[in-house]
Structure 1
Amino acid sequence: MQCCLIIDDAELVRGVASQFLERAGYMVIEAEDAQQALQTCTARMPDLILLDWQLPGMSAHEFLEGLRGLCPAGGPQILYMMTEFDIKDLTRAHAAGITDFLLKPFDRQTLTAKLDQFAQARLAST
């Protein structure tokens, strides 16, 4: 079973995303900040990360740098969750290693479509 780590300081977002992902067959782990998420990744690297763009304490970009230190070659697919489209931030996030982005609020259909894209890309690369 694939594992997904949801990193968001909003409990509601984590809860809704968890429900969607569990229905899609993922085992879900939640973290409310980037520091907690890095500790989780050190213990068990997830297959997929849903990463909020604004986190308390450590920024999403600092998290991505820390994650790169844990898995310099490859690593999990990262879906960057944004509340507003900011091309500069998105470009910086892509350079730091995100796979794709998702605008919040999102619904099950939108998230499922992204997961399907990830699955197809994974199959195409094997």
Structure 2
Amino acid sequence: MTYCLIVDDSRTIRKVSRDIVESLSLEVAEAENGAAGLAACQVRMPDIVLLDWNMPVMDGYSFLKELRKRPGGETPKVVFCTTENDMDHITRALEAGADEYIMKPFDKVILAAKFRELGLLSETCSV
């Protein structure tokens, strides 16, 4: 089963994201910041990471740069899910190794489309 790690400091966003991801039949874990996310990756490397940019302790950009340095850290697909929409943020995220970038708020249709583009959902998966 495809395993998704949601890294976001907002409990509400994690809950909404979890509900969407679980409805797509993916296994889900959560982390409240980048440091906790890296610890979770140490235990089990996810197939996909939904990643917020602005978080305390360790932000999403720092998490991504560190993840990509770790053994196996090049494997997960990383989707930034954030309110940061200027081209500088998007460019920095993609250069650091993000695979996709979506704006909050997002819904099941948007997330499912991104997962399909990344090859993590079949075309027949209903939304």
Per the normalisation by structure 1, the TM-score is 0.90
Quote how far apart the aligned CAs of 1:84 are. Answer: 3.5
Alignment correspondent of 1:46 = 46
Alignment correspondent of 2:31 = 31
Q: Secondary structure at the match of 1:119?
A: coil
The answer for unaligned runs of 5 or more in structure 2 is: 123-127
Quote how far apart the aligned CAs of 1:72 are. Answer: 6.3
Letter of the 2:64 counterpart: L
The answer for unaligned runs of 5 or more in structure 1 is: none
Q: 1:106 to 1:36 in 2, by over 3 A?
A: same
Structure having the higher helix fraction is: 1
Q: 1:37 to 1:48 in 2, by over 3 A?
A: same
Q: Distance in 2 between matches of 1:109 and 1:23?
A: 11
* Deviation string, structure 1 residues 24-83 (Cα, Å, up to 9, x no partner): 111000000111000000110000000001111112121112101213673200000121
Letter of the 1:70 counterpart: R
8 A Cα contact 1:42 1:70, kept in partner = no
Work out the number of aligned pairs and report it: 122
Per the normalisation by structure 2, the TM-score is 0.89
8 A Cα contact 2:65 2:96, kept in partner = yes
Query: Percent same amino acid at aligned positions?
Result: 37
